[in-house]
């Protein structure tokens, strides 16, 4: 069977709180790493979240 086109990636907070989101990504269409500005409830602010690998 073929590999699935969509993979799950972890978006980890750059505030250093350890908070993360899990999102889906199609690496065939989007080759660069995700960087989003999302809400971190630990620091109660919007901060940048960068893509890291799932373990």
Sorted by sequence, the CB contacts under 8 Å of residue 46 that are 6+ apart come out as 37, 38, 39, 40
The confidence band for 53, taking pLDDT boundaries of 50, 70 and 90, is confident
Instruction: Report the CATH number at residue 23.
Output: 2.20.28.120
Q: Provide the domain count of the chain.
A: 1
Q: How many Å apart are CA 10 and CA 12, to the nearest integer?
A: 6
Question: Which tens digits make up the pLDDT trace of 12-47?
Answer: 999 999 999 999 999 999 999 999 999 999 999 999
Report pLDDT for 54: 85
pLDDT value at position 49? 98
User: Could you tell me if residue 31 is inside a domain?
Assistant: yes
């Amino acid at each position: 069977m073929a590999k699935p086109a969509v993979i799950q990636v972890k978006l980890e907070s750059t505030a250093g709180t350890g908070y993360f989101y899990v999102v889906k990504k199609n690496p065939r269409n989007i080759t660069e790493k995700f960087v989003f500005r999302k809400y971190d409830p630990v620091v109660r602010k919007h901060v940048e979240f960068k893509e890291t690998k799932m373990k």
